Structure 1
């Protein structure tokens, strides 16, 4: 963890809202000169506090109308089996997020899909046949109440 001051937090907050801000626009928003903002932004990038920039795409506009959470229980709990499962997850583009868990399931996956057939294909043709997987249970998202990648920064 690096030391960030109030201006760094303002920069990070502004960039979370709009990553395309120029240094001048950023400076105008937070009350520093453009050169100071540039130096601070570069330091935050070098320190990996800012890990990258990207465009937020509309899944629905591109035909991805289904989100599913898929709970996975592994067949065996060995390092080799976990490694094989991790490799499988990283090969499947529809899986956006994957988490190792405590509790009933070993992993939960978030998948974005075009339709129920796509979910069926992933579950029945990719996950279930894989030798590392013992049990699969999926839940379909009915309504998204909140979506945010923003960190709760306080200045």
Structure 2
């Protein structure tokens, strides 16, 4: 990956809807060269896909929770069961296997505390092998994730 590829990745993380011709012009490339580079970055797996970045507050999701999970066992079977269950719940936005005191950290968004309670009862409480769960609520987002440094 050279400097041009890095610039392409930075630009696409900011706005993946830009026309290739506009992107090429900004980077001093021909349209065909820019297109070829993007296709190669996709083929190499550096670009894993394209998504719309939605505004959670406009969707009414005013509450964001980070839930620390500790399992009763760290056996492969227990972790596989937990991870398979997590994958089945759309209300769990992210799940990260962690080092430190918690085994996993989950990110959940809800309209309000009442909806979080429903998610807690119908989703989080049904996750297998959980010995402890601790929820922390974001008061305000200072910096939203905007892409990886390239």
TM-score by length of structure 2 reads 0.94
- Select 2:85's aligned residue among 78, 84, 88: 88
- Cα distance change of structure 1 residues 21 and 117 upon mapping to structure 2, 3 Å threshold: same
1:35 corresponds to 2:32 = yes
- Select 1:146's aligned residue among 118, 143, 148: 143
CA contact (8 A) 1:127 1:133 kept: no
1:109 corresponds to 2:96 = no
In structure 1, list runs of 5 or more residues that go unmatched.
Answer: none
- Summarize the alignment of residues 4-43 of structure 1 with structure 2, pairs less than 5 Å apart: 4-43=1-40
SS of 2:145 mapped into structure 1: coil
- Taking the aligned partners of 1:130 and 1:34, their CA distance within structure 2 comes to 49
CA contact (8 A) 2:69 2:104 kept: yes
- Taking the aligned partners of 2:141 and 2:132, their CA distance within structure 1 comes to 26
- Cα distance change of structure 1 residues 35 and 129 upon mapping to structure 2, 3 Å threshold: closer
SS of 1:110 mapped into structure 2: strand
Deviations 1:46-69 (A, max 9, x none): 111111111111111111111000
- Select 2:66's aligned residue among 66, 69, 73: 69
1:60 corresponds to 2:57 = yes
Structure 1 runs (4+) deviating above 3 angstroms are: none
CA contact (8 A) 1:67 1:111 kept: yes
1:121 corresponds to 2:118 = yes
SS of 1:80 mapped into structure 2: helix
- Taking the aligned partners of 2:8 and 2:138, their CA distance within structure 1 comes to 34
Aligned-pair RMSD on alpha carbons?
A: 1.3
SS of 2:123 mapped into structure 1: helix
In structure 2, list runs of 5 or more residues that go unmatched.
Answer: none
Count of residues in correspondence between the two structures:
150
